[in-house]
């Protein structure tokens, strides 16, 4: 293999994330189909990040090589393998049912040379699939890798439409999926209705991340819940805030009222000036 002089980002069909591979082809362009040597064997991928000089590579991870630009024969085999993968899924499902295993295959992918097939599956617990491997090996006549994935990875592979009406973020552009806690929903003052805040994967929706920093910053402008104000011998307590409308709910003994944040800040400023005299 020729010396690696550059590295480039490559995306594969079952992942929205770009992985770096080494190459000596500096003329690769975004969208070019290539054949790369991955942990799953030879795979057809697409250039997502154009080649960068290897001198700028800072990671300690070993770079697997891009073997060549994909030829027409490579793409023909790749399309045939996709058809074979659908058949492999059906066979795997039948054999799993026969053995009574608590697992469900969601994706199958052949290496370009057909030497290996990787089957991703979901399961609630660990599964003893040794007998299944024997059966599938006799059917497929190649190396088999059974890979358990989490619910978020499943959603990423399967795809779907989110509550917003758009394709799932994880299946389109998200390259990493952070753990999301209920504190983000609390920070954005959302109703803590877990089913409504959960995505296709059953976990809290990833879009809770998008506006969290903005809410944290905007809330600095508002009074704290429980803060006390006095006006005309009436005590008011801050009972709630609305970031978007910039309104503050003030509660008092006989009821409550909503005031504009700017008006409240002006009143607070006037009170401070009066105290400072």
* Boundaries of domain holding 37: 6-70
**135 with 196, same domain?**
no
- pLDDT on residue 1: 55
Question: Last residue of some domain: 44, 70, 96?
Answer: 70
- pLDDT on residue 155: 78
- pLDDT on residue 269: 65
Number of domains in the chain: 4
Residue 154: inside a domain, yes or no? no
Distances in whole angstroms, Cα of residue 250 to Cα of each of 34, 141, 176, 262 = 63, 72, 41, 14
Residue 167: inside a domain, yes or no? yes
Residue 132: inside a domain, yes or no? yes
Which ranges in 109-150 belong to alpha helices (H)?
130-140
CB 184 within 8 A of CB 212: yes
Which ranges in the chain belong to alpha helices (H)?
72-99, 130-140, 151-158, 169-172, 182-187, 194-197, 212-219, 261-276
Which residues, 6 or more positions from 258, have their beta carbon under 8 angstroms from its beta carbon? 247, 248, 249, 250
- pLDDT on residue 276: 44
Residue 219: inside a domain, yes or no? no
Helix, strand, coil distribution of the chain in percent, nearest 5:
35, 30, 35
The tens-digit pLDDT sequence of the chain (277 residues) is 568 899 999 988 766 678 899 999 999 999 999 999 988 889 999 999 999 999 999 888 889 999 999 999 999 999 999 999 999 999 999 999 999 999 999 889 999 999 999 999 988 888 899 999 999 999 999 999 999 888 777 777 777 888 888 888 877 777 666 778 899 988 888 888 888 888 888 888 888 888 889 999 998 988 888 888 887 778 889 888 998 899 999 998 888 989 888 888 887 766 654 444 4
Classify each residue of 228-240 as buried b or exposed e, where b means 16 or more C-beta atoms within 10 Å of its C-beta: ebeeeeeebbbee
Question: Last residue of some domain: 149, 182, 202?
Answer: 149
CB 245 within 8 A of CB 254: no
Residue 220: inside a domain, yes or no? no
The CATH number that applies at residue 120 is 3.30.300
Token pair of 231, please?
């006006």
Angle between helices 72-99 and 130-140 (to 10 degrees): 140
CB 48 within 8 A of CB 18: yes
Residue 171: inside a domain, yes or no? yes
**48 with 101, same domain?**
no
Burial class (CB in 10 A: 0-12, 13-18, 19+), 72: exposed
**56 with 82, same domain?**
no
**90 with 144, same domain?**
yes
Q: What are phi and psi for residue 129, nearest 5 degrees?
A: -110, 25
Question: Last residue of some domain: 70, 91, 126?
Answer: 70
Are β-strands 19-23 and 64-69 bridged in parallel, bridged antiparallel, or unpaired? parallel
Cα pseudo-dihedral 121, 126, 127, 129, rounded to 10: 80
**107 with 60, same domain?**
no
**26 with 82, same domain?**
no
- pLDDT on residue 273: 47
């Amino acid at each position: 293999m020729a010396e690696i002089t550059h590295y480039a980002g490559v995306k594969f069909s079952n992942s929205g994330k770009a992985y770096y591979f080494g190459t000596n082809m500096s003329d690769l362009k975004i969208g070019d189909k290539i054949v790369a040597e991955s942990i799953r064997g030879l795979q057809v991928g697409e250039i997502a990040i154009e080649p960068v000089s290897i001198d700028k590579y800072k990671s300690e991870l070993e770079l697997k090589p891009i073997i060549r630009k994909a030829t027409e024969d490579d793409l023909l085999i790749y399309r045939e393998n996709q058809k074979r993968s659908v058949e492999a899924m059906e066979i795997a499902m039948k054999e799993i049912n026969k053995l009574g295993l608590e697992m469900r295959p969601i994706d199958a992918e052949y290496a370009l040379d057909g030497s290996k097939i990787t089957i991703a599956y979901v399961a609630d617990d660990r599964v003893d699939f040794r007998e299944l491997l024997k059966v599938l090996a006799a059917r497929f006549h190649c190396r088999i890798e059974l890979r358990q994935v989490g619910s978020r990875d499943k959603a990423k592979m399967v795809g779907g439409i989110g509550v917003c009406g758009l394709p799932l973020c994880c299946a389109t552009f998200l390259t990493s999926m952070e753990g999301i806690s209920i504190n983000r929903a609390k920070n954005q003052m959302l109703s803590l209705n877990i089913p409504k805040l959960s995505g296709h994967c059953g976990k809290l929706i990833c879009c809770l991340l998008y506006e969290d920093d903005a809410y944290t910053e905007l809330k600095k402008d508002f009074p704290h819940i429980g803060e006390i104000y006095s006006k005309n011998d009436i005590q008011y307590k801050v009972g709630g805030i609305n970031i978007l409308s910039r309104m503050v709910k003030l509660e008092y003994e006989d009821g409550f009222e909503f005031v504009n944040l700017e008006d409240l800040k002006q009143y607070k400023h006037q009170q401070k000036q009066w105290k400072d005299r």
